[in-house]
Structure 1
Amino acid sequence: MTEFTVIGAGPTGLTAAVELARRGGDVRIFDQKDGPSGLSRAVGITPQSIALLTPCGAGPAIEAEAVRFEGLTMHKGAEPILHLPLNFDDDSSIFGLPQDRTEAHLIAALKRYGVEVEYMRPLTNYHVKADHIELDFGQHIRAKTRYLIGADGVHSRVRATAGIHYVGRSLPGHWSIADVIAPDWPHRDRFCGFLLPHGQIAVVVPMASDRYRVVSSLPDALAALPVPLEPEKVIRESSFTIEVKRAEVFQKGSVFLAGDAAHAHSPVGGRGMNHGIADACDLAERLIEGTQKDYDAARRPLADEAIEVTERARKMLQSTGAAKSILLATIAAIHRSPAAQRAIVHQVLAG
């Protein structure tokens, strides 16, 4: 019987498995995909996450490959209206790296501890017994574990089987996304945001050399941009809805939730993957040290705070009418105040 089993091999699940293995835990990790993902959902990674991943060796590798953002520029339409500096202290940095590359570094770290991701293993059911949990992956494939960690996303099978409700709402409308190769885009290390008419927004985020993520609240991310971006190659285009939800509890007996399985919110501020990494590190330490009963009380308030902050920021950026006039006036005031600019950067990147 395995001591710890992780379901889901995204950044959260991989971090949990790596940290458990690094601390001497007996761990297995399963994923329903047929192999590592070549796609990228999350982009931004904070120095705090890099620090958390440094003991296992993934942190320095991520930092070495990632794009370090030199600033953030907000536009009203095509006109720049606010430049925010970055890297002015230890709490004002953020890096861009495709999620699949972050995962690759975590998989490499996991292999160094002798653990391989077991792909093509979709969890179909599990049964909690007195002293263990029996897992069913279909096709007569079963396993036993002492502790189960659900890092299997917003549609978590672990959460649903545990009977833990996912409380909140799906925001109306679909957002669009495009990952592109664009050698001529001039802002190679700068995050660019665009306030568009009628409360719509678009952003361009550097991910790697000549590779950018474009996201918009409009149906076509590339067409939404009010400035020219000519892609040499479109890696992928898709759409998504924003979930603003939280699990009622993050643990139930020997079953635990982390990352998107526990909480989901808008991508404003780039907190999602970073909160999942922090969940995983916190949980792994508690499981090894035997203090896991305090995991829910420690992490759930932080998820509530992230949801509140990101929703407040999203609503502000998507404001219309008088509220948008106030937003633009506030941006103008911030533009004139270096102290205010630094304070805003700290607020956006906090947590």
Structure 2
Amino acid sequence: MNILIVGAGPTGLTAAVELARRGVIPRVIDKRSGPSELSRAVGIQQRSMDILTPSGVADDIRAEAVRFDGIAFHIGARRIAKFALNYDETSRLYGLPQDRTEHFLARAFARYGGKIEYDTPFEGLTQDDTTLRVRLGGTEAAFDHVIGADGAHSDVRAALGLDFPGFDLPEEWSIADVESPDWRDPETFQGFLLPHGDICIVAPLEQARFRVIASQPDALAALPVPMNVTRIRRSGAFTISVRQVTAYAVGRVYLAGDAAHCHSPAGGRGMNLGIADAADLAGRLIDGDIGGYHAARHAEGAHVLSFSEGLRKAVQSKSPLRRAVMSRVMKLIAAVPPLRRAAVRYFVSG
């Protein structure tokens, strides 16, 4: 089976590893000049770790990642609730910069005999009932299947002429990847609800390194508690799109990860959803059960988009009454163990 994967991010590399460990080594191309050095996605769910266990990638991640000890919520600087994690397998959540996750996936792919071809852009495709030909890096080649895992601005999706319906949030968000040697609760995922519906999030990346995200122009300035920042590795601004492709499969071409869906970072589902897409698709290609891919993954994508948007709207509510009620509800949930466990399950696993 001759398979091309376009995109060497977490989604594309998961598909590559899952195919390779079953005996099918795909061709993987990426238009970038080399591996990414950006932290991007942070949180890794236990479900993703389960997917990455057979290849050994989960062990590599576990050895380096921060295992969050809890999720804490604040109104301004005042903590209102903390939900402990790690009381069972479903309540584990790990933090690791995306470039390190990609590194471990690429290393596993190489162990199986795979190679990533950088500086190789996807330039279009044609397919009919019998042939599938792809233009890439100035050449043309035939494949049995193509996986588009090339991100939210997917060239593969564009080549298929597929719509990417949805909407963009009006506000500009900001991000900072920083080092702070004495940040409080360094293994806790922390959310700060700010006035006027704004929010700031601090997520551990590794020892003394953190991701700060805010719905304001300056993430560090938005943080309502002091943070001793000794180094800013990266900062920038971004907008949030909430979109899902109309078809995950056209003929023998399939979309996965951000090429098929994008949403807010609320709940930390993006990379995990892409990893799940990739594993499902790789398994179906090996088993010859590809017909159910769109239905299964479109439904899961729609669920995650609904979950993340619902969570974002709740924490960004501008209503003082709703915020007061949310504060009381969080305190109640945190104080009652069965409710606390259910809330953690919902937040961590969706």
Answer yes or no: same fold by TM over 0.5. Answer: yes
CA offset at residue 313 of structure 1? 0.5
For structure 1, which runs of at least 5 residues remain unmatched after alignment? none
In 1: Cα distance, 2:326 partner to 2:247 partner:
36
Query: 8 Å contact 1:5–1:149 — kept in the other structure?
Result: yes
For structure 2, which runs of at least 5 residues remain unmatched after alignment? none
- AA of the residue aligned to 1:208: E
CA offset at residue 332 of structure 1? 2.8
In 1: Cα distance, 2:179 partner to 2:130 partner:
52
TM-score (norm 1): 0.97
The structure 1 segments of at least 4 consecutive aligned residues displaced by more than 3 Å after TM superposition are none
Q: SS where residue 74 of structure 1 aligns? A: strand
Q: SS where residue 308 of structure 1 aligns? A: helix
Query: 8 Å contact 1:68–1:94 — kept in the other structure?
Result: yes
The partner residue of 1:232 within 191, 206, 230 is 230
Q: How does 1:216-255 map to 2 (within 5 A)?
A: 216-255=214-253
Query: 8 Å contact 2:197–2:318 — kept in the other structure?
Result: yes
In 1: Cα distance, 2:277 partner to 2:204 partner:
26
In 2: Cα distance, 1:338 partner to 1:57 partner:
34
CA offset at residue 328 of structure 1? 2.0
Task: Tell me the equivalent position of 1:179.
Answer: 177
- AA of the residue aligned to 1:131: T
Task: Tell me the equivalent position of 1:116.
Answer: 115
Report the identity percentage: 48
Task: Tell me the equivalent position of 2:39.
Answer: 40
CA offset at residue 36 of structure 1? 0.4
CA offset at residue 29 of structure 1? 0.5
2:205 aligned with 1:207: yes
Task: Tell me the equivalent position of 1:56.
Answer: 55
Task: Tell me the equivalent position of 2:136.
Answer: 137
Query: 8 Å contact 1:131–1:146 — kept in the other structure?
Result: no
Q: Map Cα deviations across residues 294-322 of structure 1 (whole Å, 9 max, x no partner).
A: 10111111111101111111000000123
Query: 8 Å contact 1:132–1:147 — kept in the other structure?
Result: no
Query: 8 Å contact 1:146–1:254 — kept in the other structure?
Result: yes
In 2: Cα distance, 1:109 partner to 1:326 partner:
48
Aligned residues: 349
Q: SS where residue 166 of structure 1 aligns? A: coil
- Root-mean-square deviation (CA), in Å? 1.2
CA offset at residue 142 of structure 1? 2.5
Query: 8 Å contact 2:186–2:208 — kept in the other structure?
Result: yes
In 2: Cα distance, 1:73 partner to 1:348 partner:
12
In 2: Cα distance, 1:64 partner to 1:198 partner:
40
Q: SS where residue 143 of structure 1 aligns? A: strand
TM-score (norm 2): 0.97
In 1: Cα distance, 2:346 partner to 2:129 partner:
45
Q: SS where residue 9 of structure 1 aligns? A: coil
2:134 aligned with 1:105: no
Q: Map Cα deviations across residues 263-307 of structure 1 (whole Å, 9 max, x no partner).
A: 111111111101110110010010011100110111111111101
Task: Tell me the equivalent position of 1:283.
Answer: 281
Query: 8 Å contact 2:213–2:219 — kept in the other structure?
Result: yes
